[in-house]
């Protein structure tokens, strides 16, 4: 999926490993299993790794997911198999927060609608409710690395920034200048809501019909986190019934363009982009470098900070020398 794997190949080859890139179809699961059968380490994006996959790769010691999310990897299964797993954290903070801001402005100013109607509606706003951020409240869901970076920028743009994150201490809220608030208060008091939490069982479709019904100020909703955090049908209903102003969406339940939900990407009040919020000319280089560094670290006995199952000690016992 990347233009070049020069860094990965140079790093791993210089340390005694043979580096190969899957050239087949992304949907060819069986082909991927055959390709990976003799591997000791894997760098993956959206390949599903489960018990069946792991049973086909008996020599595997380590997996690194390019990116932060790892819902396509069964961590428990990997741990049982003695395979260390890492993602790449703390990269692209500025890229994603910049993209979230871009989506906010595009929604608030009606840019896609304005572009489509420029010939028929020149001189007129695309819709009536175009508001200014300096008078409004931004609510951030998830005050981690990306949500925190966004907060630092947004404090200078909005009248107030509030955030909901039960796993972050009050000191971080104070340092970032965000007001600590409950889930209900964030939904009821925000004119713009930006989602920056992880996708877990707890956050699965946390933006459902009940959540949208609790939004009192008809906010803009931005999602650059994970598609499964927002219930698609509830989002469309909220837009069609005027309970929210608009939405900026960069992530979906699918990563296949042919399966993207038409009612989302074609909705007149949704600004849809193709899951590239993470990308900048700097961040994609950093992502690939750190993924390769993490893989080499685990293959040579280390446990990088990004390791998701550090309790795995040494990996599978049947592991030969690198080829």
- Calpha distance 318→323 (Å, rounded): 15
Look at residues 202, 192, 205 and name the one whose alpha carbon lies nearest to residue 248.
192
**Catalytic annotation, pick one of 61, 196, 199, 226:** 226
Determine contact, residues 166/190, Cβ cutoff 8 Å.
no
- DSSP string across 202-261: TTTT-BSHHHHHT-TT--EEEE-S-GGGB-HHHHHHHHHTTSSSEEEE---S---GGGS-
Look at residues 75, 37, 70 and name the one whose alpha carbon lies nearest to residue 53.
37
The pair phi, psi for residue 167, each rounded to 5°, is -105, 10
263 is catalytic: no
Can you tell me which residue has the tokens 């990407």?
265
Mark 242-260 as b/e (b = at least 16 C-beta within 10 Å).
ebbbbbbbbbbeebeeeeb
Can you tell me which residue has the tokens 């420029």?
118
65 is catalytic: no
Mark 64-93 as b/e (b = at least 16 C-beta within 10 Å).
bbbbbbbeebbbebbbebbbbbbbbbebbb
Q: Three-state SS string across 268-283, please?
A: CCEEECCCCCCCCCCH
**Catalytic annotation, pick one of 33, 218, 275, 289:** 275
Query: How far does CA 51 lie from the centroid of its chain?
Result: 24
232 is catalytic: no
Orientation of helix 93-109 relative to helix 145-154, angle to 10°: 50
- Calpha distance 115→106 (Å, rounded): 11
**Catalytic annotation, pick one of 185, 232, 255, 286:** 255
The residues that are catalytic are 226, 255, 275
């Amino acid at each position: 999926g990347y233009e070049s794997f020069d860094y990965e190949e140079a790093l791993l080859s210089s340390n005694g490993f043979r580096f190969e890139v899957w050239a087949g179809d992304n949907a060819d699961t069986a082909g991927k299993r055959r390709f990976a059968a003799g591997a000791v380490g894997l760098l993956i994006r959206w390949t599903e790794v489960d018990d069946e996959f792991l049973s086909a790769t008996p020599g595997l010691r380590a997996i690194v997911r390019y990116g932060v999310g790892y819902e396509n990897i069964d961590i428990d299964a990997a741990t049982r198999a003695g395979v260390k797993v890492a993602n790449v954290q703390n990269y692209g903070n500025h890229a994603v927060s910049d993209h979230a801001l871009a989506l906010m402005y595009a929604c608030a100013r009606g840019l896609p609608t304005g572009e489509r109607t420029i010939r028929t509606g020149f001189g007129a706003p695309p819709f009536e409710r175009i508001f200014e951020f300096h008078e409004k409240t931004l609510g951030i869901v998830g005050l981690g690395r990306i949500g925190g970076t966004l907060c630092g920028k947004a404090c200078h743009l909005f009248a107030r920034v509030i955030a909901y994150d039960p796993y972050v201490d009050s000191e971080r809220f104070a340092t970032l200048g965000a007001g600590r608030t409950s889930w209900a208060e964030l939904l009821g008091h925000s004119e713009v809501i930006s989602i920056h939490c992880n996708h877990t069982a707890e956050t699965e479709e946390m933006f459902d019909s009940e959540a949208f019904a609790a939004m009192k100020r008809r906010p803009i909703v931005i999602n650059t986190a994970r598609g499964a955090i927002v219930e698609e049908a509830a989002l469309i209903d909220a837009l069609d019934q005027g309970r929210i102003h608009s939405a900026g969406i960069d992530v979906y339940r699918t990563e296949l363009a042919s399966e993207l939900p038409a009612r989302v990407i074609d909705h007149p009040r949704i600004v849809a982009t193709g899951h590239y919020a993470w990308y900048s000319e700097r961040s994609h280089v950093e992502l690939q470098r750190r993924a390769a560094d993490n893989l080499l670290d685990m293959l040579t006995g280390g446990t990088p900070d990004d390791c998701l199952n550090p309790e795995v000690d040494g990996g599978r016992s049947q592991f030969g020398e690198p080829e």
